[in-house]
Amino acid sequence: MSALDQLSTMTTIVADTGDLSAIARLKPVDATTNPSLITKALIHPDNQAMLSDTMNRHQGDVDAVIDALTVQIGCDILALIDGRVSTEVDARLSYDTQATIDKALEFIDAYQKAGIDPERILIKMAATWQGIEAARYLESQGIHCNLTLLFGQHQAIACADAGVTLISPFVGRILDWQKSEQNRQNVPAADDMGVQSVKLIYQYYKQHGYKTQVMGASFRSVEQILALAGCDLLTISPDLIDELAHLDTNVTRQLSPDMVSTNAIGERLSLTETAFNQAYQEDKVTQALLPKGIDGFISAREELAQTLAAIRN
């Protein structure tokens, strides 16, 4: 068995792409997208007819067009997989709880009108305090959420307390920060702060019986991925999935509920907004990466908006 086949017996593999041809080829259980991936998918020649039709229907309203295209690509992805797709709320709303809720409800309504069961949709938003509170409400209404741009334990604790369905800790971005801060070119998995962060979150969740699932994301290498074998889910780019498919090595399970010590992590916590913000101020990694990640998603949406405006004109 390839490393990918072995990993698939331990972990749900999610394709981190909006490329329909890659999804059709890889046949993942779930798929996740973000504005950068949506942009790449929409500029593909095969999607130009859909692009023109959507722009005509919305009379060039760029925000409405982006939302409609996001749902359309989500529907196209769901036609190719058996599981769920993550659909991301506009990152400009990351610090606005009510606006995030409203946009999520719009997406769910659009999917339902397209004949998609809401159970197959994960509403994806940044793990700010406001985003987590929006997810708390949405989950109470039966709408499942994927909290992304997650770098700190305080974010993970608040997400679990809010009853979030899924979190996406960004392994690779934490490693990038670590290399820069420590002036290191290579960091083994045993010292990899991104890998260790996911392991700690996983252990905390399993020890305290949370239903929130952990989906490692933003990988830089197959070594990082295999260091988290057994994690609930792993979202992986097509290139790294292909590398795993051609890798002939024994994969050892690194995470499972049975491996969690009942005394490993400490007590179950519930954070107030004040405590959350204090933890944020004490967490250099999250301070560096969360705003940067939100800005990156906003920039990707702006790039898509500019592309659509150029086509319209």
Choose between 164 and 55: higher pLDDT: 164
Delineate the domains of the chain, giving CATH numbers in brackets.
3-312 (3.20.20.70)
Helix (H, G, I), strand (E, B) or coil at 29: coil
* pLDDT value, residue 264: 58
Between 250 and 47, the higher pLDDT residue: 250
Catalytic residues: 124
Q: Answer for the pair 107, 121: CB distance below 8 angstroms, yes or no.
A: yes
Using 50, 70 and 90 to split pLDDT, how confident is the model at 134? Answer: very high
pLDDT at position 18 is: 78
Helix, strand counts (H, E) of the chain: 14, 8
CB crowding 69-101: b at 16 or more within 10 Å, else e: bbbbbbbbbbebbeebbbbbbbbebbebbebbb
Dist CA 139 CA 215 (whole Å): 18
Selection from 152, 159, 148, 154 nearest residue 125 by Cα? 148
Lowest mean pLDDT of 49-53, 83-87, 272-276, name the range: 49-53
- Partner residues linked to 277 by β-bridges: none
Structure confidence at residue 37 as a pLDDT band (50, 70, 90): low
Predicted TM-score of the model (pTM): 0.93
pLDDT value at position 52?
A: 76
Which residues make Cβ contacts (< 8 Å) with residue 139, sequence separation at least 6? 145, 162, 163, 164, 165
CA distance 277 to 268: 18
- Residue 262: predicted pLDDT: 58
Averaged pLDDT for residues 114-132:
98
What pLDDT digit, counting tens, does each position of 161-178 carry? Answer: 999 999 999 999 999 999
Contact 178, 186 (CB under 8 A): no
Q: Helices 62-78 and 284-312: crossing angle, nearest 10°?
A: 100
What integer pLDDT is reported at residue 183 of this predicted model? 97
User: Picking from 10-24, 112-126, 207-221, which range would have the lowest pLDDT averaged per residue?
Assistant: 10-24
Residue 213 contacts residue 167 (beta carbons within 8 Å): yes
Tell me which residue has tokens 């331990």.
10
3-class SS letters over 77-120: HHCCCCCCEEEECCHHHCCCHHHHHHHHHHHHHHHHHCCCCHHH
